[in-house]
Structure 1
Amino acid sequence: MIKSPWDEAPYDDAVERTEQRDLELSAFISQWALMTLLDPAQSLAYLRYLGYTGDPATAFRVTRKRSLDVKKKHTDRHVFQCFVFGPKNAGKSALLSSFVGRPFRNNYEITSNQCYTVNSVEQRGGIKKTLILHEIQEDNVKEFLSSKDSLAACDVAVFVYESSEEYSLKRASELLMDVAREGEESGYGVPCLLISAKCDSQSYLKEIKETKMISQAMKIGAPIHINVKENNMNGVFRKIVNAAEQCHLNIPETEQGINKKHYRQLVNCSLIVASVGAAVAITLTAYRTYAIKKAASS
């Protein structure tokens, strides 16, 4: 009997399970979506093992490039991957655990860089989309972003910080800047959201001014405030999916990126003016030539 790949990382704790560690249908479908994303060849192999005899090309749905989705301001994807960034002890793991119904734990545990959770998220009209959360450890961000394709598989990124810790917000904003810069350089810019974890009324008042400045400077939305311990999630997973669907919005911009964009616009305008000027000059020259020939023949 073939061994199930879902008994090992990163699949073993990626979905919600029953008390007997079994999978319900929705969890099974979510788990399959995760395996297809991470290892399509393995997914197809197990599909054949289960009896699928159809054309492999029809087994998977291939979507268009994200860059085209951004240009079209629309995506028809049904599975979205969200990269979860943030400093240590900010609440990243708690966010992932809450997504699959695991209870909050006070003790902090270091997680591996292969930490995923996946579940379906019901949108307006009862439409369900599959959301995959992938936690990126703070210590691994630099190495992770060193690959030019590091953001290629990302549909949306969130940056979790602890609202009561000034350093946590500062570090989250630095990570946001790193991802924004990599997105501009690689062409894989993605929608980004700030998530204020462990939120309470006192810390909310302290952070609101700083986060407003960050959001305005980076051209992204205001933070989403949650409190996992009190199960106050503020519709965060639905908002993450909404951001992924509205793929042309909330893409952060650095000052360098904005300057480059303005420079390209200036160059394009100059080329247009030059082209128009050249066309006018050619037209005038042709007219003068015609007028001279006409005068000479009369």
Structure 2
Amino acid sequence: MTKERIKVVVCGDDVLGVGKTSLIACLVKDQYIPNLQDVLPPVTIPRDFSSSPYSPKNTVLVDTTNFDLSNLHGELKSADVIWLVYSDHESYDRIALYWMMMFRSLGVNLPVIVCKNKCDDYLTLKDSIDSSEAMMQNPFAEDTRIEDEEFIPILREFKEVETCIITSAKMKFNVNQAFYLCQRAITHPVAPLFDARVGELKPLTVLALKRIFLLSDIDQDGFLNDDEISNLQKRSFGKSIDKNELNSIKKALADLSAPSQEYGNFTLYVPGKGITKDGFLVLNKIYSEKGRHETTWGILRAFHYTDSLSINDKVLYPKIDIPDTASVELSPVGYRFLVELFITFDKDNDGGLNDQELNFLFKSTPGLPKLWLETNFPFSTVINSQAFVTLQGWLAQWTMTTFLDYKTTTEYLVYLGFEKDARLALQITKSRRQRRRNGKLYRAPVFDRKVFNCFVIGKAKGGKSSLLESFLGRSFSETYAPTIKPRIAVNSLELKGSKQYYLILQEFGEQEPAIIENSAKMKECDVLCLMYDSSDPESFSRLFSLINEHAHLQELPMIFVASKADLDKQQQRCYVQPDDFTDQLLIDHPLHVSSAWPSSLNELFIKIAEAALEPAKNTPGLSPDVRKEDVDYWQYALLATSAVGFVSLFTFMAVKLTKGMRNGS
């Protein structure tokens, strides 16, 4: 990305008078200045001097003399790029025999821009134009730099030499361009992109360009049509591509893939369809071969690639200030993008993403998120009869991901082609508010959250796994499989008033004791679902012990659930029976549910969501008066919100009606 400061060290033979000091003076003063001092002091050139939008904030030009080798060596070791100047045959020979050998002996591995100065006669051959400006304004235009045959041996022998250029300080010929090339060697380095020894794009470049092709192929047909190329051009360079230039590119690719040509075995362009992936790679290879690699960098930068060909961490993981006890949810912008993504990759329009579609969707990413693999996706959410994730399950999975680890969401949004700032796909809820009554802390009602986290706790064989399966709409299985690793289930839930919420149910298997003891982890829980088997007399005592042993659990809203209610109810072998214990805690009696009674399960899920919205109703130790006060406040706030919405709607309709009457008159 853009560097704050670049140091350019200008070298050349003093005895032979190659004109390096004159080049610096001409660049700074925009005119030729004769009779200069031997060495100029360092000059700092601010960004607005250059027409390139990729230039650094400041570029420092350091003039040198080879009469003071100690100082010269010191400057070279702290340089970013070397501007090496020669002017005649003798100074040309010293490039290979003296200067390049010196750089290597110092262990300086920097890009070198070789400049043949005092080429005044070239102006009689051709008018000069500022190629840097032309290339930045029109990245697909032909390169207009004049080249010299004597550059070829230098370029072949020394890989450090980035490029060569002909200049004249006296005639102000290509001076700005030479300076731009020095900047470009740092801001758009060719080394990471292209291996000049074998004449091929480097593997990481190929991977990056393939990903960009995939993301730019909006209709996913394997070709970049005219509209898709235009969109890519706008994203990369801020302007549309000229139709004639596009046609010339397509013609050039078609000619290159003719049977007798270099790429005769490849299909680079198909008339009526567009440029292929191979064509896109060849096009960028040609740019590098011609020294036009800033065009490729313009494309790579638009997709947030750094000099190391990795995506910028600041884009993948933008800094987000999340207050303590607040949560992160998807915004409408985020949901819209994910819906469009699902529809685009559901090629057979069956409402589910099969394995092939899913693999293709994640082709531009490192693969399925680690969190998804850990939670056994797609079985952590809603799937169809063929075990393909549905749109409902897809959105639920991303909702869970954002809630539990929003950094994964921002990372993958970028990988998947979200063009805006990834933070726009998120929204931050307010911190949980706490209230205190009679020395008892409890959570205030919730108004701005749509996602709730429920921990399902209880003895083995208590029905926790069946509860998670039922929540995802799956039928009950008689086969018992103990839960070893944590399990998760996420789905949407509709409450009264057609309000949609998302519920995340988690059970922890063998990690349950450690989770319960971790008070910080338990604060992430919105509701505790304490489950026991009503047909097993030994089941409830586990919950009784947990509540008494861990005081921090009583700070959370909780719901007791008696599972397997279709079986014979057993007296629990415990100091106190479930109904009596919940009376002591001042919360509702256990809700009796069964996988054979779908309505009872639906009632439970609704109750969990309502407990998250109105924590006081289900927090142990609160008197009925406190609960009523909180419920009344919650209902009043909802009524006020509805009233505001009604007033807004009424105002909107009144304005529309007024405008209509005015237009009618």
Per-residue deviation, 1:67: 3.8
Secondary structure of the structure 2 residue equivalent to 1:158: strand
Tell me, yes or no, if the aligned pair for 1:86 and 1:175 is still in contact at 8 Å: no
Structure with the bigger percentage of helix: 1
Per-residue deviation, 1:232: 4.8
The 5 A counterparts of 1:1-298 are 1=363, 2=365, 3-5=367-369, 8-12=373-377, 13-68=379-434, 72-137=444-509, 139-178=510-549, 181-183=551-553, 189-200=555-566, 202-203=568-569, 206=571, 210-234=577-601, 235-253=603-621
Secondary structure of the structure 2 residue equivalent to 1:157: strand
Per-residue deviation, 1:168: 0.5
**What amino acid sits opposite 2:611 in the alignment?**
A
CA distance in 2, matches of 1:67, 1:15: 30
Tell me, yes or no, if the aligned pair for 1:75 and 1:247 is still in contact at 8 Å: no
**What amino acid sits opposite 2:482 in the alignment?**
I
TM-score, normalisation: structure 1: 0.75
Segments of 5+ residues of structure 1 without an aligned counterpart are: 259-298
CA distance in 1, matches of 2:517, 2:534: 29
Which of 1 and 2 has higher RCO (CA within 8 Å, sep 6+)? 1
**What amino acid sits opposite 1:108 in the alignment?**
Y
Per-residue deviation, 1:219: 1.9
Aligned CA distance change for structure 1 residues 28 and 245 (closer, same or farther; 3 Å): same
CA distance in 1, matches of 2:423, 2:591: 40
Tell me, yes or no, if the aligned pair for 2:547 and 2:553 is still in contact at 8 Å: no
**What amino acid sits opposite 1:225 in the alignment?**
H
CA distance in 1, matches of 2:471, 2:450: 18
**What amino acid sits opposite 1:237 in the alignment?**
F
Tell me, yes or no, if the aligned pair for 1:81 and 1:153 is still in contact at 8 Å: yes
Q: Which of 1 and 2 has greater Rg?
A: 2
Q: Deviations over 1:236-279 (max 9, x none)?
A: 1011101111022211249xxx9xxxxxxxxxxxxxxxxxxxxx
**What amino acid sits opposite 1:120 in the alignment?**
S
Aligned CA distance change for structure 1 residues 220 and 25 (closer, same or farther; 3 Å): same
**Percent same amino acid at aligned positions?**
28
CA distance in 2, matches of 1:112, 1:60: 33
Aligned CA distance change for structure 1 residues 232 and 74 (closer, same or farther; 3 Å): closer
- Alignment length, in residue pairs? 247
Aligned CA distance change for structure 1 residues 183 and 75 (closer, same or farther; 3 Å): farther
Aligned CA distance change for structure 1 residues 92 and 72 (closer, same or farther; 3 Å): closer
Segments of 5+ residues of structure 2 without an aligned counterpart are: 1-362, 436-441, 624-665
CA distance in 2, matches of 1:47, 1:227: 40
